């Protein structure tokens, strides 16, 4: 795509909804990676030569080495609520703003978490496979029995906006809500949620939903000790980040039926998935669909565009991860 002379250059690492592209083109010279794949680090470096901003995906790694070579870059506008793909400290040291897309994907992700919960509890994906294989021989009193939700306990790990939205859906299904977080949460309390330690939550919950960001404190938050605390009929749902769970421990627990099942939307080495998961009937695997609705992705596209526009116009963006750099950006050449 041809660039417009004398306008700041923005590069978009994957195709995003057109509303966001249109907004960016009103202010900048925009180029887009038209290939339906992630760029390699050398390709990313080449494409970002001379760029003032990048609309990045969670799969694009901006480490200190790459950032040190991007002399003109002023903003990394991440098309995600997470930003663990960016070395924020290194970006801040170089005066590069890092922004994300919180809030707009809350309901879509909570819906997906509950969809996975229902799919595992009622064995929907397993039933679909049975029907497609021609093995359904008619109704039977003992055919593919699953678990009720009403009256059961859902444990919410992480009491942010998404966690509260999952809890709200749990309340709608008549479930008891307990939650674990660094501190008590007013929204959770309004929903009738009970504050608990992680150990208490794991021991008491029939369903466990992980809704925490990935950081040093949450990496492998759910490991061997934690899974051993869960009920034998517990179902684990992860729409957070794959690294929050020790996948090898989870696979072993699912194989041995230490817990009943799991619903996963995220993985440690995404998009590569541990093939042992494919051999298990008691896990439902989704291809990172948390925010994948037309409305949500359009809102994300608008927000990443507005974040980039604001920063490059010397204004405060709607959602910034490292606000301390904003005062320095107006003088950066």
> Do 244 and 222 touch, CB atoms closer than 8 A?
yes
Q: Do the Cβ atoms of 62 and 56 come closer than 8 Å?
A: yes
What is the Cα–Cα distance from 178 to 153, expressed in whole angstroms? 7
The verdict on whether omega for the bond into residue 271 sits within 30 degrees of 0, i.e. cis, is yes
Nearest residue to 320 via CA among 332, 331, 333, 304: 304
Q: Which residues are catalytic?
A: 241, 270, 288
> Alpha helices, DSSP H only, in the chain?
18-25, 41-47, 64-67, 88-93, 106-121, 124-132, 161-172, 186-190, 198-204, 224-229, 247-255, 294-312, 326-329
Of 303, 305, 314, the closest CA to residue 95 belongs to 314
Rounded Cα distance between 86 and 319, Å, is: 15
On the CB side of 42, CA atoms within 13 Å amount to: 0
DSSP strand pairing (53-56 vs 29-32): unpaired
Q: Assign 109 to helix, strand or coil.
A: helix
Tell which residue, 143, 185, 147, 146, has the closest CA to residue 166.
185
What is the distance between the alpha carbons of residues 266 and 243, in angstroms, rounded to a whole number? 8
Q: State the residue for tokens 């083109």.
A: 25
């Amino acid at each position: 795509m041809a660039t417009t002379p004398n306008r700041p250059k923005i590069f978009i690492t994957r195709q995003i909804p057109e509303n966001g592209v249109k907004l960016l083109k009103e202010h900048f010279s925009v180029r887009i990676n038209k290939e339906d794949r992630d760029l390699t680090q050398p390709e990313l470096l080449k494409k970002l030569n001379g760029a003032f901003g990048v609309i990045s995906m969670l799969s694009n790694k901006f480490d200190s080495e790459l950032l040190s070579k991007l002399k003109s870059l002023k903003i990394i506008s991440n098309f995600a609520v997470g930003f663990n793909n960016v070395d924020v400290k290194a970006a801040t040291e170089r005066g590069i703003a890092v922004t994300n897309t919180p809030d707009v994907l809350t309901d879509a992700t909570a819906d997906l978490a509950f969809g996975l919960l229902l799919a595992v509890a009622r064995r929907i994906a397993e039933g679909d496979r049975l029907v497609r294989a021609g093995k359904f021989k008619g109704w039977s009193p003992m055919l593919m029995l699953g678990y009720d939700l009403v009256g059961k306990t859902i444990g919410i790990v992480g009491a942010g906006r998404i966690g509260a939205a999952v809890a709200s859906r749990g309340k709608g299904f008549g479930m008891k809500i307990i939650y674990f977080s660094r501190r008590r949460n007013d929204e959770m309390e309004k929903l009738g949620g009970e504050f608990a330690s992680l150990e208490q939550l794991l021991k008491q919950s029939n369903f466990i939903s992980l809704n925490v960001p990935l950081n040093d404190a949450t990496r492998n938050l759910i490991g061997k000790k934690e899974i051993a605390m869960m009920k034998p009929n517990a179902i684990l749902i992860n729409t957070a980040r794959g690294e929050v769970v020790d996948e090898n421990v989870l696979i072993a627990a699912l194989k041995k039926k230490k817990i009943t099942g799991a619903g996963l939307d995220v993985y440690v080495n995404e998009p590569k998935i541990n093939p042992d998961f494919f051999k298990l009937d008691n896990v439902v695997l989704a291809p990172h669909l948390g925010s994948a609705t037309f409305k949500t992705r359009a809102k994300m596209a608008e927000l990443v565009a507005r974040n980039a526009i604001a920063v490059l116009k010397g204004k405060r963006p709607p959602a910034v991860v490292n606000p301390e750099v904003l005062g320095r950006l107006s003088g950066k050449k």
